[in-house]
Structure 1
Amino acid sequence: MNIAVVNSSTITKFVDDKNAFDEFVRGWLAVVDEDGDGVLSRDDIRGIFCKLLPLGYYPREKDEIDGLCESVLERFDQDRNGLLDGNEFKSFMMEIMNALARGIGGSPLVVVLEQGSFLSKAVQHQLATSD
């Protein structure tokens, strides 16, 4: 784990860098796309909530997780085919990252970064693009 000082611009600059953010999204899509078909099914989305999020952070009851999956599909499945394609998943990831930026705000915040976390990718981007 590392410690970094971040604010909302750490994240927004990362999201605004199309090439870096697209690479980040492709990497996460590969992680959560269990069957490797390039789209996320309900089962793949369920896996995000069951496997990737910290215990206790999201409900673990099947009905609650199914409700979260439906909410994600309702919000981001633009073609209503019951799957998230790469562009729809990118919109989902942008929403998550922008929510992180809003939550952090403009004031500097000292954070502990877990290796491979969403925020750690934004910090790595900031370090790589700093003058």
Structure 2
Amino acid sequence: MSLPIINSSTVTKFIEDADKFDGCINECFEKLDVDGDGLLSREELSGGFGSLLPVGSVADIPREEIVKRLCDTIFERFDEDQNGKLDPKEFKSLSMEMMLAMARGIGSSPVHLAVNQGSLLMKAIEHELATTS
């Protein structure tokens, strides 16, 4: 885990670099697509999100219920063709919206933030470092 100093432009400039952002999104998609069918099922997505949540419960809601609710919300919002799976385009929309929400949350003032290696946020930081060097 790293503790870089970032602001919203770190994230937005990463998203604006379409080739780099798309490459990272495709990489994430492939990691989540366990069965390799080119679509993300609820199980595949919940496995990815589930690994980000703490073990046990949060506010007396079991972890499994939190993951289920999160997946329900995601599929309701991003499964445009309502086939019960996310294709790469739908996953990109989800990822972009999450990254933009993080950028808004971070704001324009520099902040110290704990970031997991290999995360999209870390990829944004690496992109900033590579473009400013």
* TM-score strictly above 0.5: yes
Q: What percentage of aligned pairs have identical amino acids?
A: 45
Q: Per the alignment, do residues 16 and 81 of structure 1 end up closer, same or farther by CA in structure 2, a change over 3 Å counting?
A: same
Cα 1:18/1:60, change in 2 over 3 Å = farther
Question: Residues 46 and 3 of structure 1: is their aligned pair in 2 closer, same or farther, counting only changes over 3 Å?
Answer: closer
1:58-77 equivalent positions in 2, closer than 5 A: 60-77=62-79
Structure 1 CA distance, aligned partners of 2:13 and 2:124? Answer: 8
Whole-Å separation in 2 of the counterparts to 1:109 and 1:35: 38
Q: How high is the TM-score relative to the length of structure 2? A: 0.88
CA RMSD, Structure 1 to Structure 2 (Å): 1.9
CA contact (8 A) 2:3 2:115 kept: yes
Q: Which residue of 2 aligns with 1:14?
A: 14
Structure 2 portions without partners, runs of 5+: none
Query: Do the aligned partners of 2:54 and 2:63 also contact (CA within 8 Å) in 1?
Result: no
Runs of 5+ consecutive residues of structure 1 not aligned to the other structure = none
Aligned equivalents of 2:64, 2:115: Cα separation in 1: 30
- Asked whether the 8 Å contact 1:32–1:44 carries over to 2, the reply is yes
- Displacement, 1:76? 0.3
Residue type at the aligned position of 1:77:
D
| Aligned residue among 74, 81, 84 for 1:82 | 84
Number of aligned pairs?
130
8 Å Cα contact 1:41-1:84 kept in structure 2:
yes
| TM-aligned CA deviation for residue 30 of structure 1 | 1.1
